Structure 1
């Protein structure tokens, strides 16, 4: 990624990974490396010299504009031509892909800070990760975390997005962002080229590579096709507890399995049947599926795993409804199964592990969970038919995940209403180069692709390691502000890649602001559950959310006078005092990067003395900025 990125990077992902790095033939840059560095520092110093330290300090605030963001904003607002290093326009060089690449995640924008976090998170989770970016040397540096790498992948160049980079790839994470570049041909890689047209180029490549939505796939798990299959089942009615209910599983003349009997509520009040010693490993699937014909009652499925073998009264249960006289398909995802011990929910049990399923059972009971009544049961005769046996199902997962930015939807709703814009958070007021508009265009390109997708909109991105772990909050409708670390965004991306419930949804994410948030750090399982209550984009109105707004043209650029007013916003100054940090030595040659919306920003440049400590007051921050600008000017002179 470039050193001047106002909103942070966006990335792409899809797949597991053994570790193997492929070789990339390096490409000759238009500018020699040292000259590109001089262009970087000259551009930074030239733009910074136009603003006072107080103005620079304010830029790193709730306006979500870090020092880098201010430089980028200054380029747009003052029509500067100084830009930082960008991609070369030479034809892309292909990497030598490992033949065993399979079900891989392609992360485009892997050299950016967010991209690096995503690559690391996915690699740690065991995915086969292909790191991709424009600069081959930078991609090689990231390859230590990835399984493979693809150099000179430029979203603004469709020729660099050929089939070779998608070979063996099943999912793509887009973590790209605009840069402010100087090339011999002039400025390039602005927001329109990257966030809008560039994302569309990636979408086009994915549409050519991936099949359209495959839908839910099903595979046989437990056969009910013969008398021998039926004979493996045993009754488990309430007579074992002194009840009088009775039931039997039989093979019908129509080839379906018929479970029928009589439920008597005096006594235990349940009927059941089960099959044991299955030894099923269904970890590659998302749950169980049945075609059932029922009588309108609510039934249960009982599963027992190896984890519960030594505890006879423990099981996992999920309920399903039936429609009188109609065949219906019932899908029971693993997350729907609840651990139960002696008919009570067992909160201490781990989530169901489908790797070692030993028992499967059917139950009709007058109780639901925790002795609460099953409102859809009737005493007397019942009949449940199952056609084609018990199957395991696998649902679509996102093929494309786009890391966008909070604020894009609000910006589109505001449009040309300048009064509303003035009352919005600072980044919407600034909207340098129409970036929020172009990011929204990119979102719409992903939505219109016809492929399973997820769009993640982080609030203010931060690298601050002192923040510590935290609970995360998901939202929709683009109404929240706050901040979130890049590592936390990476965990959300990793969860979305493996979660069918994330498909077709757009969400914002931030760190919880509750006092006990540090004690409620979500597990991977909990993160996946967070996608469940979210509305699909096509169904937003069903949950009381307005439909997504129409994309609009960017507003007129902010004048320099208006820019100064925005930077005097108390929210900007407060965040600058609160969140300005020193230099990240590992990225000493990168320009600072802004966060994506009205939240705190993490700064990557500054004096060596201000390495990791937070600045305590405005005076110290002012001194820090003076030192930083001085260092940049000295670098230019050298």
Structure 2
């Protein structure tokens, strides 16, 4: 006979949890085989090399295609702005994250369409042709103006970069997060994560039966550790139910290893921005502090987790815990306190062959350059010249289309080039 205070334990859910997080590799492999999956789903939010969400306007142009490929190779989350879905899929592939909008039509560039973004690269068709620059066709001023005005409300604050943007649901987000509840320790709490149009919902029912009392959602291990050493901490945008939750980061790939935790209170039905300095994260193992482990290494983030638990730390009870149904709505997870990086990379065509290619010569500025400068958005302008137009004894590095695309991606991670103009000649 079962003890009076016990509740039936779900062994099937226990095995399913272990399989989802590859704790039982052979079982996970067989499960994928029966589902027709040939490999593990992509399990990193950013490829784990770079963080951030980048919008590429003009993604189907020759330059735009090169830029998209390099951003993805660097690990960025890329959203490609395309004129229509079929053309975008044909040129960029069926797996690309496409946004159908027209930069000439401001009403198509809504906050809901764009989602939260960290940077924009504008690659207009008129800037480059396969044979080189069409110097007689400068970039369209109103296109740039429309794009900058639409992006300004959804751009991250300078010094912030996006870890997870739940305002823009995607298949990769859905495949990355799973539930880890007290069923792994004999409990009966249950939780799950739902992606809505504008947020993620961490919902469920937490029970103290069978000496349990926690529910959580956790990411699979990222394919490579994410480096956040240039940032001060993590910023959450959440709406809770009055419970006190935990946010945890892990710096090792062990299933049951040390995590770095911070507790935060919520106010029922109220959006809150929670800043968690890395210095405030406490090393814990099964809700017990492990002071000998020292501070977190922010350059080695392997996974993260949200949790509701009846316990705080070292046997103390959570002062704002209520068993039963719960809900935590999550809009985003960002890193904050980093350097100011370029957030608008504009490709511009030189308006005069006599330009000295410097920022001080205002006569060489095109209208789109002036607009970007006056927008207040941290930017880098890459002004392009035909190599045949360079006069006098001034020289520019002559670059290929591939070189220009690589340069545009590299400047996104270089604080020293924000609000600067870089001149390049192209064959």
RCO (CA 8 Å, sep 6+): is it higher in 1 or 2? 1
Normalised to the residue count of structure 1, the TM-score between the two structures is: 0.27
Normalised to the residue count of structure 2, the TM-score between the two structures is: 0.40
Bigger share in helix: 1
